[in-house]
Amino acid sequence: MAVTRAIEDAARRVGRDPASVRVIAVSKTVAPDRILAAAAAGFNAFGENRVQERQAKTEATAAVAASWHLIGPLQSNKARRAVELFDVIETVDSLELAERLGRIAGELRPGNRLSVLLQVNVDEDAAKAGFDPAALERDLPAILDLPGLAVDGLMTVGRLVETPELARPTFVALRTLAERLRTSHPGLGPALSMGMSEDYPIAVEEGATMVRIGRAIFGARPSVV
């Protein structure tokens, strides 16, 4: 499959083990039968950006042995459903949301921490969600102390750019921030979720451990969703 090959090539260019990169197949707007086909083809992690959409597909995809990632913004009133429906929440963007998820995970799955990533707006782009880096640095110790959560690492959504190469500074910024934070906060996990259909080879070159790929796997989405 072209995506797998492109990841292998990108990893080799920089001396990384291709097995250190996990593909999150982004199945938003994709019907369950096509998710089942992708699972049969070997994908074992899927990303959805809306809690309701994941919920609607739960029954039809029950046979899929996969890890489900929430990759879209999470409103606090949907936090409980999200903990029930997802294995990884990639879009934790405030201390308050982290505290709420930690509390709910402690209730619903005691002894089994919920995996989360902290979304960072490394481009400091006003249009985008995520912690700004200074706020993350301030709130990180409190988040790492929450008993219900496993903070696997960081996630970012790159800005829309004309060519993939222009996304590189965003990926470098996330990796550099993660490296710096991990020296003083070893409880922060090593995951870096960055890169999408247009730019994932660049993200792999810059250290992505998860790439979130929709259109390059499933084809174009309907333009109105």
- 168-171: Cβ within 8 A, 24+ apart: 168/202, 168/205, 168/206, 170/122, 170/123, 170/194, 171/195, 171/199, 171/202, 171/203, 171/206, 171/207, 171/208
- Answer for which of 71, 89, 101, 203 binds ligand PLP (CB under 6 A) is 71
Applying CB under 6 A, the span of 99-107, 145-153, 181-189, 206-214 interacting with ligand PLP comes to: 206-214
Applying CB under 6 A, the span of 31-39, 94-102, 107-115, 207-215 interacting with ligand PLP comes to: 207-215
CB of 185 to ligand PLP, least distance (A): 24
Applying CB under 6 A, the span of 8-16, 53-61, 108-116, 208-216 interacting with ligand PLP comes to: 208-216
Q: Rounded to 5 degrees, what angle do the CA atoms 49, 149, 24 make? A: 35
Applying CB under 6 A, the span of 80-88, 134-142, 183-191, 213-221 interacting with ligand PLP comes to: 213-221
Using CB under 6 A as the binding rule, whether residue 208 contacts ligand PLP is answered as: no
**By beta-carbon distance, which residue lies closest to ligand PLP?**
214
Applying CB under 6 A, the span of 74-82, 144-152, 179-187, 209-217 interacting with ligand PLP comes to: 209-217
Tokens of 160: 């829309």
Cα–Cα nearest to 10, from 162, 213, 218: 213
Cα–Cα nearest to 5, from 169, 172, 204: 204
Using CB under 6 A as the binding rule, whether residue 49 contacts ligand PLP is answered as: yes
* Residue 166, CA atoms < 13 Å, CB-side half-sphere: 5
- At which residue do the structure tokens 């950006």 appear? 49
Cα–Cα nearest to 196, from 204, 185, 188: 204
CB of 27 to ligand PLP, least distance (A): 10
Please give the residues from 15 up to 44 whose contact with ligand PLP meets the rule CB under 6 A.
Answer: 26, 28
Closer Cβ to ligand PLP, 6 or 103, answer by number: 6
Compose the 164-203 pattern: x for residues touching ligand PLP by CB under 6 A, - for all others: --------------------------------xx------
CB of 31 to ligand PLP, least distance (A): 15
Residue numbers at the binding site for ligand PLP (CB under 6 A): 26, 28, 49, 71-72, 157, 196-197, 212-216
